[in-house]
Chain A
Amino acid sequence: MTRDTLTPEEWSQLRLERLQTTLNRAYRNVPFHQNRQNEIARKTRRDPSLIEDIREIAALPFMERKHLGEHYPYGLFAVPLRDIVRIHTAPGASLNPTVTGYTRQDLNLWREVVARALSAAGVTPHDILQISLDFGLANWGRDYKDGAEELEIGVIPNAPLSPDKQLMVLRDYKTSTLVTTPSEAGHLADLMFQAGMNPTATNLKRFILVGEPVEADFRNLLTERLHVETWVHYGLSEVPGPAIGFECAEHQGLHLNEDHFLAEIIDPVTGRVQPEDEIGELVLTTLTTRAFPLIRFRTGDRARIIPEPCPCGRPLVRMEWLSDRTDDILTVNGVKVHRDQIQSRLARALGFSPDSRYFVTKHPGEKKYLEVWIGMEYSFFSDEIKDLEKQVDGLVETLRENLGVPVRIRLKEKASLADILSESGI
């Protein structure tokens, strides 16, 4: 059953059925959800799983990123391990990574979701689709590969290639569609011009941009420089998965896959559900996911539901995905990095918690990277430059491996660290 073939009443019934099933399964199979629902039942004397209207979900508590780490590794799985066919790890908000699982049915779901989004972007079996995503978005790489294969599109799967090799593949393998992050797209565009590669001499005609919101100016720049059309997809990087929202040919907001996800926009401070058309934090509930149900998951992404119907005629509601976040998570090339996690990793590696600052930096001609400034401590100091370099290299490697993003570390005089930051306007 698809939205296109259902009346509004049937559509509303379908979503209610799926929500009730999700809540029943979460309650039955996941102690975390069971305890929280029991808590509400004690307070309100009403079984929260007996939701009679989809809007009543607002009575349930939020799930946050910290919960994913607290129940490491399998505490939020709603199926036995033997039903899991894929396990994925992503950097979490704490020392523990986020571990998610997929059942065979979940893989089918993501295949369908991604295929739908790629179809909307006009990708067909005549296309060659290349995936170029950072290590931290490896699960999306697999989902895009599966979704493209579902449409019988020729896929060049995600691989850890150097930028030069990526360009070579893009040119020689006649890539027509590139799935990548906006940061990577900008970087590749720079490299193409540096290498003297004429974009019109390649087969490239569209970018599927994922992982970060995209500014209109940047899209225009890509279109002008590379003569490509850009399509934005929205997804969750730590938990499954990509293309929860996708653009149609109108490029006026992202259609949400409402048959599989329930979206709410909340006030990030009060937690109250915002009226339609108001900007707030996007909260997602999965309606069909088997292994890893999310119930009112706070994404930290700022968004607005667009109430008007789309000129394309698709009945799926649209959202506007806005830059900036409602939490203090950093996004590096589409990968979410939590400040607490950086600090915890540094403390574990150094044996003490240093005074430090973190931000995302981008230099012309380079990809974005996580820049970490550390205030020097006596215990960390060495009069041997080689020793210091070795320590810094070790820290870079630790952070890169655990966060899944490129990292650079700069050592600063501790006393003046705050002043430097202040002068830099950071």
Chain B
Amino acid sequence: MLRIKNLRCYYGRIMAIKGVSLSVMEGEIISLIGANGAGKSTLLEAACGLLPSWKGEIDFQGNSLKGCDGPAIVRKGISLVPEGRLIFPPMSVTDNLKLGAYTRYRKRQHAEVARDLEMVIDLFPILRERANQPAGTLSGGEQQMLAIGRALMARPRLLALDEPSMGLAPLMVEKILDTLQLLKKEGLTILLVEQNAQAALKIADRGYVLETGKIVLQGNASDLLSDVEVKRAYLGKDYEEFYEGRD
């Protein structure tokens, strides 16, 4: 469904993503894990049209995303749940959700948008209680639910999430991940970028480990979950110890 091939992203002259290839098949949950600064968010931004330029190929459902901006990519079917949620604090919960369907109003899909609003509120019942409350007054977990709900309002085929567990209590993380599994069962494809490797891999089909802009490990999520190297990559530990006792 999403195919990234030989992706290179630059910040000035610094190459942040160094020739990464990654694929997401329809109906899969893919976890992209790695330490802070590994390049996970940059990769996601490139795929979601938030980086001004990148080299390589990104195809979604057989069509190149080269030159597409954020709204164009949303229209093609990719929605991003950004790191830190980036909700609109003074606006009500309902208005935040409706903003997620921004690209659909122009297509006069008002009735469908209203139905989807109900669907999202059914998915996260707490949002019904908070419907008229300013989004900024919600707890961290509720804000995350709102951010996911807002992304779903665009009716994506692929939902990309950047660190959805960040700053949340373990119980809330579990709830969010349960929701992602539910969405998968309903046919949604998910690309999940996480530092919380254990949690992310538990619900994923496959995973990739990114380190300093390169994929250094990949495979079935169950294999990666039991891999001590994953923990090491996640923690970003020094690799000097690799050479101990080898000579």
Binding site for B on A (CB under 8 A): 1, 9-10, 13-14, 16-18, 20-21, 24-25, 28-29, 31, 47, 49-52, 73-75, 77, 79-83, 103-105, 108, 288, 290
11 extra interface residue pairs, beta carbon distance < 8 Å, beyond A75-B246, A105-B223: A1-B25, A9-B3, A13-B5, A17-B215, A21-B217, A50-B6, A50-B18, A52-B6, A52-B19, A79-B229, A83-B229
Comparing B66-74, B128-136, B237-245, the segment that makes contact with chain A is: B237-245
Q: A77–B216 contact, CB under 8 A?
A: no
Q: B23–A104 contact, CB under 8 A?
A: no
Q: A81–B246 contact, CB under 8 A?
A: yes
> Given A52-B6, A52-B19, do A10 and B25 touch, yes or no (CB 8 Å)?
yes
Report chain A residues within 8 Å CB of B229: 79, 83, 290
Q: B21–A17 contact, CB under 8 A?
A: yes
B150 within 8 A of A: no
Residue of B nearest to A71 (CB): B246
- Cα distance, A49 to B219, chains bound together (Å): 19
> Given A31-B243, A79-B229, do A20 and B223 touch, yes or no (CB 8 Å)?
no
B247 within 8 A of A: yes
Residue of B nearest to A51 (CB): B19
> Given A17-B23, A75-B247, do A288 and B219 touch, yes or no (CB 8 Å)?
yes
**Interface CB pairs A-B, < 8 A, 16:** A9-B3, A10-B3, A10-B25, A13-B5, A17-B21, A21-B216, A24-B215, A25-B217, A28-B211, A47-B18, A74-B246, A80-B241, A82-B228, A83-B228, A105-B227, A288-B219
Report chain B residues within 8 Å CB of A24: 214-216
Report chain B residues within 8 Å CB of A79: 229, 242
Report chain A residues within 8 Å CB of B6: 50, 52
Q: A21–B239 contact, CB under 8 A?
A: no
Residue of B nearest to A6 (CB): B25
Chain B proximity of A12: nearest CB distance (Å) = 10
Q: A14–B243 contact, CB under 8 A?
A: no
B53 within 8 A of A: no
Report chain A residues within 8 Å CB of B206: 1
Binding site for A on B (CB under 8 A): 3, 5-6, 18-23, 25, 206, 211, 214-219, 223, 226-229, 239, 241-247
Chain A contact residues, majority secondary structure:
helix
Report chain A residues within 8 Å CB of B22: 17
Chain B proximity of A106: nearest CB distance (Å) = 11
Q: Which of B6, B18, B21 has the most CB of A within 10 A?
A: B21
Chain A proximity of B237: nearest CB distance (Å) = 10
Residue of B nearest to A75 (CB): B246
Report chain B residues within 8 Å CB of A50: 6, 18-19
Q: B218–A17 contact, CB under 8 A?
A: yes
Closest 3 CB pairs of A and B: A74-B246, A50-B19, A52-B6
Report chain A residues within 8 Å CB of B18: 47, 50
Chain A proximity of B149: nearest CB distance (Å) = 31
Report chain A residues within 8 Å CB of B3: 9-10, 13
> Given A16-B5, A49-B214, do A105 and B219 touch, yes or no (CB 8 Å)?
yes
Q: A80–B21 contact, CB under 8 A?
A: no
Report chain A residues within 8 Å CB of B226: 104-105
Residue of B nearest to A29 (CB): B242
Q: B245–A74 contact, CB under 8 A?
A: yes
Chain B proximity of A290: nearest CB distance (Å) = 8
- Cα distance, A28 to B212, chains bound together (Å): 11
Residue of B nearest to A79 (CB): B229
Chain A proximity of B24: nearest CB distance (Å) = 11
Q: A14–B23 contact, CB under 8 A?
A: yes
Chain A proximity of B167: nearest CB distance (Å) = 31
Residue of A nearest to B213 (CB): A24
Q: B239–A28 contact, CB under 8 A?
A: yes
- Cα distance, A56 to B51, chains bound together (Å): 28
Chain B proximity of A155: nearest CB distance (Å) = 24
- Cα distance, A14 to B21, chains bound together (Å): 9
Residue of B nearest to A18 (CB): B218
Report chain B residues within 8 Å CB of A20: 19-21, 214-215
Report chain A residues within 8 Å CB of B214: 20, 24, 49
Chain B proximity of A67: nearest CB distance (Å) = 15
Q: B246–A28 contact, CB under 8 A?
A: no
- Cα distance, A218 to B60, chains bound together (Å): 53
Q: A80–B19 contact, CB under 8 A?
A: no
Q: Which of B6, B214, B227, B245 has the most CB of A within 10 A?
A: B214
- Cα distance, A157 to B141, chains bound together (Å): 55
A21 touches which of B215, B227, B228, B244 (Cβ 8 Å): B215
- Cα distance, A238 to B243, chains bound together (Å): 23
Residue of B nearest to A105 (CB): B223
Chain A proximity of B224: nearest CB distance (Å) = 9
Q: B21–A77 contact, CB under 8 A?
A: no
Chain B proximity of A26: nearest CB distance (Å) = 10
Chain A proximity of B234: nearest CB distance (Å) = 15
Report chain A residues within 8 Å CB of B19: 20, 47, 49-52
Residue of A nearest to B209 (CB): A21
- Cα distance, A290 to B180, chains bound together (Å): 30
Chain A proximity of B226: nearest CB distance (Å) = 7
Report chain B residues within 8 Å CB of A31: 243
Chain B proximity of A77: nearest CB distance (Å) = 7
- Cα distance, A82 to B232, chains bound together (Å): 12
Report chain B residues within 8 Å CB of A14: 23
A29 touches which of B20, B239, B244 (Cβ 8 Å): B239
Residue of B nearest to A5 (CB): B25
Chain B proximity of A148: nearest CB distance (Å) = 21
Q: B23–A13 contact, CB under 8 A?
A: yes
> Given A20-B215, A105-B227, do A13 and B21 touch, yes or no (CB 8 Å)?
yes
Chain B proximity of A255: nearest CB distance (Å) = 22
Report chain B residues within 8 Å CB of A18: 218
Residue of B nearest to A288 (CB): B219
Report chain B residues within 8 Å CB of A49: 19, 214
- Cα distance, A74 to B246, chains bound together (Å): 5
- Cα distance, A82 to B243, chains bound together (Å): 12
- Cα distance, A31 to B240, chains bound together (Å): 11
- Cα distance, A184 to B193, chains bound together (Å): 53
